A and B are shown apart, each in its own frame.
Chain A
Amino acid sequence: QSVLTQPPSASGTPGQRVTISCSGSSSNIGTNYVYWYQQLPGTAPKLLIYRNNQRPSGVPDRISGSKSGTSASLAISGLRSEDEADYYCAAWDDSLSAWVFGGGTKLTVL
């Protein structure tokens, strides 16, 4: 069972907006930055969002991140077929002195 909780699946149709939640606690999300990763089938994870809401260069602005208290969210608007992937949230946990990941959310574009 993962320290950070994500829904196992999410879906949307092309053009729609979808959000993926990530719930943690005061020792991780409540205190530290949240990161989001996209993993396409058969490939390594790719950084999508860093420091809660910052996008690395090359990540489109239709992808955004937010954080409130001990929860965070990833939003993807203008959904495209190429967004179909697994998405993971992560944060440093001060109590565990460890990086913790969410269990991952499989996004399906219908």
Chain B
Amino acid sequence: EVRLVESGGGLVKPGGSLRLSCAASGFTFRSFSMNWVRQTPGKGLEWVSSISSSSSYIYYADSVKGRFTISRDNAKNSLYLQMNSLRVEDTAVYYCARGSGQLPAADGMDVWGQGTTVTVSS
């Protein structure tokens, strides 16, 4: 069974940092691009970042560029999102999602995790 499990969410003060993790299983992790997508309570989906299967191509939404860093460890079947300089508006459920191909721009997200909640508040 293909599975993605996010962890690392929590409550953090504005300006703080948090590192999200996504553990993948049930598929050849190194062969697929990966993505982070977030959803503010009661609102729609917002793409955050994507990384290609070999980490050669990385993309960020303008809203997080310079503050968030996506990375992956193919040996550990894991995806990460380092979030620095967090803002109140970063409060959301963060989903890890598998791309259906090696390149983020080529194929969309086909498998999603259950999400982890990040709350930025003083």
Interface residues in chain A, defined as those with a beta carbon under 8 Å from any beta carbon in chain B = 2, 32-33, 35, 37, 39, 43-47, 50-51, 56, 86, 88, 90-92, 94, 97-104
Contact = CB atoms under 8 A, between A and B. Distances in A.
Contact of B105 (A47, A97, A102, A104): A97
Given A88-B44, A98-B61, A35 B108 contact: yes
Q: Which of under 10, 10 to 19, 20 to 34, or 35 or more describes the interface residues of B?
A: 20 to 34
Nearest to A49: B108
Interface of B: 35, 37, 44-47, 50, 59, 61-62, 95, 97, 100, 104-115
Q: Top 6 closest A-B pairs, CB basis?
A: A35-B108, A99-B47, A104-B44, A44-B112, A101-B45, A92-B105
Given A44-B113, A50-B100, A103 B44 contact: yes
A23 to B, nearest CB: 15
